[in-house]
């Protein structure tokens, strides 16, 4: 199934979801261990910073695709027994995931262009993207770096809460919320 329905996510939505999740996790841990290893970004291995920037740029494109796909498709309904407060909380949480991802990406892109030795940001590591260099001094770079770091930590916290909510639906509520996002197979039951 290509397009989303009121009961299932289509294949593109699932692929964008899981690819985005994998890239976010990679970028977070890569940022912690390969780029931000305590020596400061200015002293980080340039190759690792370039890999981080290229992956971040690719995530930006993927998230744009995901957002556009979401705009032109139905969003599957939550199970009928879901209370209104939970539906509202789920909506706020999804907006939070998108906002935190956007802020993290933009701050990272700004940071790459603001380093003393600018880091080229290339889509897929191949296609150069314009530089967003809005700060040129150390204090400005530190602020942008802090925004990038805080947004990344907030994003991971929201991802963890998202996973907990999905597992809660699956194991406690025993509904289809998690199953319908699996890549393989379809949940043959309608909403429970």
- Per DSSP, the residues of 162-184 read HHHHHHIIIIII--STTGGG-SS
The pLDDT value given to residue 90: 97
| Residue 116, pLDDT score | 73
> Which residues in the chain land under pLDDT 50?
187, 189, 191-192
Distance separating alpha carbons of residues 59 and 66, to the nearest angstrom: 10
Give the pLDDT of residue 134: 81
Residue 113 neighbours by CB under 8 Å, 6+ apart: 119, 121, 131, 132, 133, 134
pLDDT given for residue 133 in this prediction: 74
pLDDT of amino acid 61: 96
pLDDT at 36: 67
Domains of the chain, earliest start first: 15-181 (1.20.950)
**3-state DSSP percent of the chain in helix, strand and coil, to 5:** 65, 0, 35
Predicted pLDDT of residue 186: 56
Q: Is 41 exposed, middle or buried (0-12, 13-18, 19+ CB in 10 A)?
A: buried
Its pTM stands at 0.91
CA–CA gap between residue 56 and residue 67 (Å, rounded):
16
pLDDT for 191 equals: 47
* Cβ(18)–Cβ(183) below 8 Å: yes
């Amino acid at each position: 199934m290509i397009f989303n329905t009121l009961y299932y996510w289509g294949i593109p939505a699932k692929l964008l979801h899981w690819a985005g999740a994998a890239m976010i996790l990679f970028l977070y841990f890569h940022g912690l261990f390969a780029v931000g290893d305590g020596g400061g970004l200015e002293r980080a291995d340039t190759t690792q910073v370039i890999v981080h920037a290229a992956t971040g740029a690719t995530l930006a494109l993927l998230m744009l695709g995901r957002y556009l796909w979401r705009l032109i498709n139905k969003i599957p309904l939550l199970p009928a027994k879901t209370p209104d407060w939970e539906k509202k909380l789920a909506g706020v949480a999804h907006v939070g995931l998108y906002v935190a991802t956007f802020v993290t990406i933009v701050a990272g892109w700004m940071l790459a262009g603001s380093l003393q030795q600018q880091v080229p940001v290339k889509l897929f590591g191949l296609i150069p993207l314009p530089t967003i260099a809005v700060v040129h001094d150390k204090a400005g770079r530190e602020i942008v770096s802090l925004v990038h770091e805080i947004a990344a930590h907030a994003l991971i916290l929201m991802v963890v809460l998202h996973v907990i909510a999905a597992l809660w639906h699956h194991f406690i509520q025993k509904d289809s919320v998690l199953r319908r996002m699996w890549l393989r197979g379809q949940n043959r039951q309608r909403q429970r």
